[in-house]
Amino acid sequence: MSSAALLNQLRGELSRRRLPPHYIARAVREIEGHCEDIASERQDSEAASEATLCRRLGDPVRLAADMASEFRAQHFAGRHPWLVFLGAPLPCTMALAAVWYFIGFCVLEAVGALVPQARANTAAIVLVQCFCVGGVAVPLLGVTMIFARWALRAGCGLRWVCAACVLQCLLGASVHTNLTLPTAPGKGSFSIGLGVPPANLAMLLLPCACAAAVAWRYLRQSQSLPWEMPR
Amino acid sequence: MSKSRTNPDFLNGVPELLLLKLLARQPMYGYQLVQAIRVLSAGELAFGEGCIYPVLHKMETAGWLTSRDELVGGRSRVVYRLTASGKERLAGSAAQWQRVVSAVERIMQGGMNEQCSVAEPIAR
């Protein structure tokens, strides 16, 4: 039936414009209902012809373009992708890392003051090292995941996921940290900064893996939508 | 002189105003809204019927409408309802529209010629 061709074309155009699967499903369902109503309003066969549907509903390509445009305009990230995906990840990562280290060191100081013998404990030393690495890894992973999801949900597409991911990779690879554990109160030191050449190649892969996982999940959802409409 | 103002909704906001007004009467779904616009405008307002959906989605995101899947005549349809925020928006848009219509009306009825009669003719 002709409405199925129109709906498939619309779905394809919306998908090509990287709109989120849930929005595509809803938009196509609404247009499908509209086609049914047009077909049932008149009993002659002309009502359901493709030309009639296109005339009444508008060209599917134009309709998809309008939907994509309106959808992006509704989201801050869609209106300002440069600002969001190139400007925001770095400050967000730094802010998250600052919060992580501030809370972590407060806890460590409190524990060190309450249980002085914990300073020489091997498990405590390993825990502190993990905390130090986590201060880089967790913000990198968290911010990459949030911005990748944001890009896909705002219909900005994979290119903005890649842009944010590349920034996070560069940041992660350039981070240098140094932790000297205290043997007595006030003797430890911690430093963090960016350096060239990149020293932390493992951190280069973390954002890539995170962004790839988010994108894979998103693409799997897109493909799970029924492509062919019932005829 | 009063501050310079623009009327961004002069044309762009017309579909939005119509949809708000129709939904203030009763909840409707897309096809019903299109039919209502066609009937009430006596066919004068013609547009691609599909273009109503992006506008409805935008209005829903703005919080002026809510939508819900409902069975209508045995078929599942997305029915839109006006929210309290939508009612406020309707009141504002309708008032603005009335001002624009009144202004255009005054110009069309020749009021501008009277007011600008002191203006000097353009030199040739």
Q: What is the per-residue pLDDT across A128-172, written as a single tens digit (0 to 9) for each?
A: 778 888 888 899 999 999 999 898 888 888 888 888 998 888 888
Q: Do B50 and A74 touch (CB under 8 A)?
A: no
| A226 upstream amide cis, omega within 30 of 0 | no
Of residues B32 and A223, more confidently modeled: B32
Task: pLDDT band for A92, please (50, 70, 90 cuts).
Answer: very high
pTM above 0.90, yes or no: no
d(CA B77, CA B68): 8
pLDDT for residue B95: 92
pLDDT for residue A95: 92
Of residues B122 and A205, more confidently modeled: A205
Tokens of A151: 């890009």
Mean pLDDT over residues B74-88, rounded? 92
Sign of CA dihedral B52, A36, B61, A86: negative
Residues of B in contact with A27 (CB under 8 A): 53, 57
Tokens 């929210």 — which residue?
A: B83
pLDDT for residue A225: 60
pLDDT for residue A174: 83
- Tell me, what's the ipTM? 0.74
d(CA A105, CA A93): 18
Q: Could you tell me which chain B residue has the CA closest to the CA of A58?
A: B48
Is the pLDDT at B118 greater than 70? The verdict is: no
Is the pLDDT at B8 greater than 60? The verdict is: no
Mean pLDDT over residues B12-30, rounded? 90
B24: contact with A, CB 8 A cutoff:
no
Burial of B20 (0-12, 13-18, 19+ CB in 10 A): buried
The highest-confidence range among A71-80, B8-17, B65-74, B76-85, by mean pLDDT, is: B76-85
Distance from CA of B14 to the nearest CA of A (A): 16
Is the pLDDT at B7 greater than 70? The verdict is: no
d(CA A112, CA A117): 8
Percentages helix, strand, coil for chain A (3-state, rounded to 5) are 75, 5, 20
Is the pLDDT at A231 greater than 70? The verdict is: no
Average pLDDT of chain A, as a whole number: 80
Of residues A201 and B37, more confidently modeled: B37
Residue type, A49: S
Farthest CA pair distance, chain A:
91
User: Helix A60-73 crosses helix A50-57 at what angle (to 10 degrees)?
Assistant: 30
Is the pLDDT at A179 greater than 80? The verdict is: no
Of A116-120, A193-197, B18-22, B101-105, least confident by mean pLDDT is A116-120
User: Helix B84-108 crosses helix B14-25 at what angle (to 10 degrees)?
Assistant: 130
Task: pLDDT band for A120, please (50, 70, 90 cuts).
Answer: low
Tokens 């932790």 — which residue?
A: A179
Query: Which residue, among A3, A55, A70, would best test binding to B if mutated, counting the most B CBs under 10 Å from its CB?
Result: A70
Residues of A in contact with B61 (CB under 8 A): 74
Q: Could you tell me which chain A residue has the CA closest to the CA of B33?
A: A34
Of residues A3 and A226, more confidently modeled: A3
Q: Do B61 and A27 touch (CB under 8 A)?
A: no
- Using left for φ > 0, alpha for ψ between -120 and 50, and beta otherwise, residue A18 falls in left
Among residues B47, A7, A164, the alpha carbon closest in space to that of B33 is found at B47
d(CA A151, CA A200): 27
Q: Cα A220 from chain centroid?
A: 15
Q: Are strands B28-29 and B65-72 parallel, antiparallel or unpaired?
A: unpaired
Q: Do A37 and B31 touch (CB under 8 A)?
A: yes
pLDDT for residue A130: 82
Among residues A121, A124, A120, A139, the alpha carbon closest in space to that of A177 is found at A139
Question: At a CB cut-off of 8 Å and minimum separation 6, what does B74 contact?
Answer: none
> CA angle, corner A52, sides to A50 and A57, nearest 5?
95
Is the pLDDT at A83 greater than 80? The verdict is: yes
d(CA B110, CA A26): 49
Mean pLDDT over residues B77-100, rounded? 93
Distance from CA of A164 to the nearest CA of B (A): 26
Q: Are B15 and A23 in contact (CB under 8 A)?
A: no
Of A10-14, A197-201, B6-10, B19-23, least confident by mean pLDDT is B6-10
pLDDT for residue A109: 76
Residues of A in contact with B51 (CB under 8 A): 58, 63, 66
Tokens of B49: 């019927």
Q: How many residues does chain A have?
A: 231
Task: pLDDT band for A69, please (50, 70, 90 cuts).
Answer: confident
Is the pLDDT at A61 greater than 70? The verdict is: yes
Is the pLDDT at A60 greater than 70? The verdict is: yes
Residues of B in contact with A73 (CB under 8 A): 58
pLDDT for residue A50: 66
> CA angle, corner B85, sides to B79 and B88, nearest 5?
115
d(CA B4, CA B44): 33
Residue pLDDT, tens place only, A42-55? 655 554 566 677 77
